[in-house]
Structure 1
C-alpha cells in the first residue's frame, strides 16, 4: 500500500532562497524541454515530398527528442549553464519526466476517448514543486529532514511517521503560506477487506446541495458553503489586485493575501469532508454511493453550489480512507436511484423541486433523498458488479432488480 503525508517545512533564509532558485531554473528547463518537443513536430509534420498549406520548414531533419535523448542533453546543459550543476540530478530528470507524461496525455486519449490540453509554457511564478524520486530511509532525524544538495531543513512533524513504511519520494511544494514536503510511503502489507457484512454495517448515501449527504438511515448534515460565504471577501481582494500596477510591491502583497484567502477556503472544505467521512467509516463496513458525473453537473446552473459542496473530493476521501481501513466502497449507476420506490420498485417521476417521495402503489411516504439513499444501498448489495477494485467497486444499478437487502457481495 502506498500513502502520502504532507508536512510543513521551516527553512532558513538561505534554504528558502535556494528553493526559489531551483524552482525558477526548473521552470526554464521545463519550457526548454517542451519547446524541443513541439519544435520537432512543427519541423517534421509535412511529408518529404510535399509542403504544408500553412507553413513549410526548411530545417534539417533531426532525431525526434524523447526522454532518453533529453536526459543525455543534461550534460551539455550543465556545461553551458553551470547553475544547473547545483540542482540534484534526480530533480532535473523528474522535470523531463513531467514533460514526457504531460505530452503522452496530450497525444494519447484516455479510457473515455478524451485528450488533455496542450502543454503551455510556464510563466514566472508558475512552477510550484520539484521531486526527489529517491530518499534515504534515515533522512528524518528529530525535527530535521535531510534534502540532498540543500541540507537539513526543519520539519513540523504534526503526525507520527507510520511504522513499517519506507520513504519512496519527497516533493517540495511551495504554497501560499510557505513550503511543504509531501513524503510518499510504501508498505508491502495490503489491508484485508471482508466481504461478509452485518446488516447494520451497510449504508447508502445520496449527495445533495442543501445537505452534504443523506444516508439510508435518514442521517443528514447541512453544507457549510465556505466558498459562497467568502464570496464578498474574494470580490474585494480581486478588485484590490487589479487596481494596482503590475509588478509593484503592493500588488505582490495583495496577491499573497488573495492566495492565502483561497487556501483557507480550500482547507476549510477539506477539513469538513474529513470530519464528515470519518463517522461513516467508523460506523459502517460497506458504503454505497452514486457514480456522479460531477463535471457534467458543474456545467449547469447549479455549478456554484456543486463545486462548493465538493462532491468529488468528499467521495474520493471516503473511498481512499475506506481502503486504508480495510473497508469497501461501491459506486452504483445513478439510473433509478431517485425515481424508483425503494419499497416496491415502482417508478415515481419527480422534479428537482419535488423532494418528497410518495408511492401510490405501496403507500411509502418519506424524504426523496432518503429514498434515493436506500435505493443506492439496495443496488450496492444486490447489483451486478461490472468493475471491481480494492478501493472502489462499480455496480450497474440498471441491471439490479429489487433483491435481498442484506446479501453479501460476491
Structure 2
C-alpha cells in the first residue's frame, strides 16, 4: 500500500535561505534542459505539408534524453560550483520532470492523451524539490527529520507515521504560508482489497450539481459550501490594493503574498470539504456510481465560476483513490439524459433547466436531482454488466477464430475448412 502524508516545517532562517536557493537553481536547470529539447525539436523537424522532394537538412543532432542529460550534470557542476551543494538525486529528479512533461506533449500519456506544450518556469512557478532516496528510520527522531546536505529539519507531526510504513521519498514544497514536507509511505505487507461485483444492494448513486454539491439516491443532500464566493469580497479588496502598488516595490511583494494566502485558504477549505465528504460517502461501505462529466466544457460556460468553486474534478479524484484503498469501486456512467429519464419506468420526461421537479405518468414524483441519482445508480450496475458481457463475447469470438484456424484432427496451419464441414 502506498500513501502520502504532508507535514508543516519549522525552519531556521539559514535553512529557508538554503531551500530557496536550491529551488531557484532547480528552476534554472529545468528551463535549461527544456530549452535543449526545444532546440533539438526545432532543428530536426520538417513539416510534411511544406517539405520539398529534395531536402537538404543539416546533420541531425542526437536527441537529448533522460540519461544523456543526467550525464551532462557533471559538466554543470564543473562550470557552476553552486550546483555541487544540491544532492545529485534532487537534480536528477529535475531531469525526470522535463522528460515527463516533454513526452506527454509529443507522445501522450498511457491513455494516448497529449498535454499542451511545456512552458518555461518563471520566478515563483517552481515550488518544490524532491529527495528520491528512501529516508532511513534512524533519520527520523521525534519531530526532526534528516535530509542529505541540509541536516535536521523540524517537523510538526500532527499525525504519527503509521507503524510498518517505510518512507520511500520526501519532497519539500514552498507555499504562500510556509514550507511543507511530503513523505511518500509504503507498506508491502498490506494486501490490496478486491471490490465486490456491483449490484443494486451494494451500490449507491450520486448526482453532482451546483444547487446542492451532491444528492444521494436516497434523497439526502450535501449543501454546497461556495468557499470562493464567500471570500470574494475580501479577494476583491486585496486585489484592488495590489493593482495600485508600484511594480518591483516591497509593498507590492507584500500585497502579492496577501493575495496568495487568501487563495490558498480557499483551496485548503475546498480540499478539506472534499476529503470529509468522500469519507462520509465511503463510510457507507458501498460502491459509488457517478456521472462521467466533461468538466472542462462546463467550465467554459457562464457557470464557470460556480463550477471551479465546486471543484468536481478534485473531489472525484480523491473519491476514486480513497475508494480503491477501501476495496470499493467508483463507476463513471454516461451523463446524457440522467435528468430526463424516469428512475421508475425508464420513460423520457423532458424538462428545462428551470424545472426542478420530476413528474412522470407512472406516478413517480420526486426532486429532479434525486431522480437523477437513482438513474445513475441503475446505469452504474448495468454498465458493468454490459462490460462483462462484451468481454465474454469478445473472448468467445477470439476462441472461435482460433478453432477455425485448425483442422478437425488438430493439425494447425489450415485456414479453410474441408467440404465435409462447410455445411455444418
Instruction: Give the TM-score normalised by structure 1.
Output: 0.87
Q: What is aligned with 1:74?
A: 73
CA contact (8 A) 1:167 1:185 kept: yes
Q: State the match for 2:88 in structure 1.
A: 89
C-alpha distance in 1 between matches for 2:224 and 2:336:
25
Residue 337 (structure 1) aligned with residue 338 (structure 2) = yes
C-alpha spacing 1:213/1:297, structure 2 compared with 1 (3 Å)? same
Moved more, 183-192 or 142-151: 183-192
- Within 2, Cα distance between the matches of 1:336 and 1:284? 28
Cα offsets for 1:288-346 (capped at 9, x unmatched): 11111111111111111111111111222222112222222222121332211111111
- Please state how far the C-alpha of 1:200 moved relative to its aligned partner: 5.9
| 2:231 is the counterpart of 1:233 | no
Larger Rg: 2
Change (3 A) 1:241 1:198: same
RMSD: 2.3
**Residue aligning to 1:145:** 145
Q: Equivalent residue for 2:114?
A: 115
How many residues of Structure 1 are paired with residues of Structure 2 in the alignment?
381
Moved more, 183-192 or 349-358: 183-192
Larger deviation, residues 240-249 vs 168-177: 240-249
Matched with 2:162 is 162
Are 1:71 and 1:96, in contact at CA under 8 Å, matched by a contact in 2? yes
Deviations 1:78-126 (A, max 9, x none): 1111110010000000001111111001111346765322222212222
CA deviation vs aligned residue, 1:158-181 (integer Å, no higher than 9, x gap)? 112122222221111000111111
Counterpart contact for 1:203–1:284, Cα < 8 Å = no
| Structure 1 segment 276-355 matched on structure 2, within 5 A | 276-355=277-356
Query: Can you give the 5+ residue segments of structure 1 that lack an aligned partner in the other structure?
Result: 389-410
**Secondary structure, counterpart of 2:283 in structure 1:** helix
Q: Report the counterpart of residue 190 of structure 1 in structure 2.
A: 191
8 Å CA contact 1:88, 1:149 repeated in 2: yes
Query: Per the alignment, do residues 197 and 115 of structure 1 end up closer, same or farther by CA in structure 2, a change over 3 Å counting?
Result: closer
Q: Which residue of 2 aligns with 1:34?
A: 34
For residues 73 and 24 of structure 1, do their structure 2 counterparts lie closer, same or farther at Cα, with a shift above 3 Å needed? same
Other-structure match for 2:98? 99
Q: Distance in 1 between matches of 2:209 and 2:286?
A: 22
Distance 1:195 1:249 in 2: 59
Q: 1:223 to 1:63 in 2, by over 3 A?
A: same
The TM-score normalised by the length of structure 2 is: 0.84
For residues 335 and 150 of structure 2, the distance between their equivalents in structure 1, rounded to whole angstroms, comes to: 51
More helix by share: 2
Describe the SS at the equivalent of 2:25: helix
C-alpha contact 2:206 2:215 (8 A) present in aligned 1? yes
Gaps of 5+ in 2: 389-424
